[in-house]
Amino acid sequence: MKQIAFGALRFDRSSLPRDLTDIGQWPAADDSALSDEGRDLLKRRIRAMTLFLDGHTPLRQISRETGVGFNDLYRAFERCITQHEDGRIFGCRALIPYQHTRSYDRRSPVKPSREGVASNASGAFTQLLQRYPDIARWIERKVAERSRKHAEITEVHRHLWRLHGGFLAQCRQAGIQAHDYPFNQKYLAERSLASHARAL
């Protein structure tokens, strides 16, 4: 028996819900951007999952046949049944080499940036938006207001400059201190905000 993703549900392979055991119904993986080596690895992983889901092939035999580690089979299955942002499970998409099924979740505080030393602020902007959803909504509203099809480049730059000023004002209003992110960074998260605005 093995504990699996959905809360405290415990299962063995023979007790998996029928709608999860038909890999043909899973969202497919697009291998068009993969190298030959990547395609081969994806193919072996899909074969391993197919054998895993049939419930009859011993795990060690699956490992020998596909090269997928014995201990990696349950982990791969958990990744496959993780919910994708499109509302479905990841399915075979989770088996693509280097495919992430979760966004990066930063937990450590961001150290102040110093001249010539990287601050390692990866994930800090996302962390800030998760902690302060009002700031996230404010940015979304401002970006939506700006959406114009024929805006000139100078207007876009000017808008981002104004957006950044407003963003910092929102951070101060939310009670973020001078020693905290984004105020402890050299560029005050300007580039992260610009990337987020472009994505929106």
Are residues 16 and 84 located together in one domain of the fold? yes
Residue pair 48/68 in contact by the 8 Å Cβ criterion: yes
Task: Please give the pLDDT value at position 6.
Answer: 46
Q: Is the pLDDT of residue 72 over 50?
A: yes
Q: Is the pLDDT of residue 40 over 90?
A: yes
Are residues 129 and 89 located together in one domain of the fold? no
CB neighbours of 111 closer than 8 A, spacing ≥ 6?
119, 120, 184
Task: Please give the pLDDT value at position 119.
Answer: 53
Are residues 48 and 130 located together in one domain of the fold? no
Are residues 78 and 7 located together in one domain of the fold? yes
Residue 73, domain member (yes or no)? yes
Mean pLDDT calculated for residue range 42-69? 93
* Cα gap 53→64, rounded to integer Å: 16
Q: What is the pLDDT of residues 13-22, one digit of tens each?
A: 766 777 788 8
Residue 141, domain member (yes or no)? yes
Q: Is the pLDDT of residue 11 over 70?
A: no
Residue 43, domain member (yes or no)? yes
Are residues 91 and 7 located together in one domain of the fold? yes
Residue 116, domain member (yes or no)? no
Mean pLDDT calculated for residue range 27-52? 92
Task: Please give the pLDDT value at position 125.
Answer: 87
Residue 168, domain member (yes or no)? yes
Task: Please give the pLDDT value at position 166.
Answer: 92
- Domain end position, chosen among 77, 95, 113: 95
Number of domains in the chain: 2
Are residues 72 and 14 located together in one domain of the fold? yes
Give the lowest-confidence range in 30-34, 76-80, 121-125, 140-144.
Answer: 121-125
Mean pLDDT calculated for residue range 80-85? 85
Residue 37, domain member (yes or no)? yes
Are residues 69 and 130 located together in one domain of the fold? no
Task: Please give the pLDDT value at position 154.
Answer: 46
Q: What is the pLDDT of residues 106-163, one digit of tens each?
A: 555 666 665 544 455 667 888 888 888 899 899 988 888 876 554 554 444 567 888 9
Range of the domain at 83: 2-95
Residue 110, domain member (yes or no)? no
Are residues 53 and 10 located together in one domain of the fold? yes
Average predicted confidence (pLDDT) for the chain: 80
Are residues 20 and 90 located together in one domain of the fold? yes
What does pTM read for this prediction? Answer: 0.49
Residue 182, domain member (yes or no)? yes
Q: Is the pLDDT of residue 1 over 50?
A: no
Task: Please give the pLDDT value at position 2.
Answer: 45
